[in-house]
Each structure stands twice: as C-alpha cells, then as structure tokens.
Amino acid sequence: MLKKRIIPCLDIKNGRTVKGINFEGLRDAGDPVELAKKYVEEGADELVFLDITATLEKRKTLAEMVEKIAAAINIPFTVGGGINSVEDASAVIQAGADKVSINSSAVKNPQLIAELAAQFGSQCVVVAVDTRDVNGVQKVFVSGGKIETDWKTLDWVKKVEELGAGEILLTSMDGDGTKAGFKIDITREVANLVNLPVIASGGAGNMEHFLEVFTQTKASGGLAASIFHFGEIPIPELKQYLKEQNIPVRCK
C-alpha cells in the first residue's frame, strides 16, 4: 500500500510565512527557509510553498526564495502562486521546485494544464482547487479564494484529470484554518471521482483529523499549516500516532 504523506504548507506573503482562517486575517508564522529546514528534520514527506498574493498582485512567484528553500531541503517541493505560463513554471522548476501548483491560471486557461504536462510531465503538475459550499453545491474559487467561478468542484476536478494534471491539492475554504477537521464529504467525493493522488487541505486541528481523512477517504496526503508552524502537532508524533493506528506512513 502506498504510504500516506504528511505535508506542511508554507503560505508566503512578502517573504514571510503567514496563516489565516478561511483565507482571511493573516498572521506571521515565521521565516520560510527556517521552517522548511525544520520540517525536513522532523520527517515531512513533502513541502508545499504557495505565494498566496502572487496572483492578486499580478506578480511572479518569488524565485529567489524558492532557490533558498530548495537548497535547504531534500524532499519533494511543490511551488505555486502566479504561475501563468510554461515560462513561469520553467523558472520555478529551474529554481529548484519539483512540482508546480496552478489554480487561478488553470481556471482562466485550462489548456495550460495540458501545456505544462506536455512540457514537464504530468507528475510535475499539481492543480490546486479551492472549494467552498455555495447553497449546498461545492464551487471552485480563484484569486486567493476571493472570486467564485462557474465551475462545480466535481466537474472541474474531472476536467483537470482529462487535461493531464498529475495531482490535486484540494482545499476546503470552509475548513481552512478552523482546526475543526478536514471536510470529509468533498474530499471523499473528489478522491473517488479521479484516478489521481488527492491531497486533503483545510481544517486539520488534531491528530485524529488526519486519521479520519486517511480512513474515511482515499486522500493520499494530508496538508496543514498553522498546527505545524506553531508546534501544536510535531510531525514525528503525528506519524507515530498514525503508524499505531495502522496507517502506512514513513517514519524516520
């Protein structure tokens, strides 16, 4: 059985790691390079770096910061934020990213998914999907969660798979930063619908939440930010707990 992945996420704004609730009220969470080093030492399986205001501010991802982090770590590294073209993705990959994450740009130009897959291979292409319940229907949001799109989440993830994405990073905006638990229903639906690895994101608050998402859905990874950044759940303890619950994880 494939090992489940524990993935810290560095949300970056102005060169610092930040974290909010429901995509709002950001507070400082530390230096991204130092946090990245800490996560490698603790046994994180991968690292995700999202320049959360790159799309809104019409900027490119911070390639210099990517280089610094890539030089400091030896685990798979996904970078997203402001990647709108093959050229943007190439710059990030040359700076040291193993995978690129696209979100708003994919919705605006779905063909970008196919172009990136053709250029770098599907395994390099992560499509981040920010989903929120709108009158009982899960809808896709873009621009840092500020703009609702016409896409229903389940329709979009199927389209993403058809276009050649290698992985889906599914963030429930309703759960983001609340520590109330991953949104099991939509995670289960997406993971059952596509034949791609799905990373669950949004809402992790304790170790039981990871157990729940791994036993009740087919999610291949659990992503979290503040609980790791602020030391509420040390990754080694989380992995030991999951191992004791018979969840296949890599322990140091």
130 included as an active-site residue: yes
- d(Cα 211, Cα 234) in Å, to the nearest integer? 15
Q: CB neighbours of 36 closer than 8 A, spacing ≥ 6?
A: 10, 47, 69, 72, 73
Please tell me which residue in 11, 45, 51, 88 is annotated as part of the active site.
11
| Angle of CA points 13, 177, 46, to nearest 5° | 65
Q: Is 28 in the active site? A: no
Residue of 51, 88, 130, 176 marked catalytic: 130
Give the residue among 222, 218, 190, 221 at the shortest CA–CA distance from 206.
Answer: 222
Say if residues 20 and 26 touch (Cβ distance below 8 Å).
Answer: yes
Residues facing 126 on adjacent strands: 101, 167
Give ∠ CA 207-194-104 in degrees, rounded to 5. 85
Active site residues: 11, 130
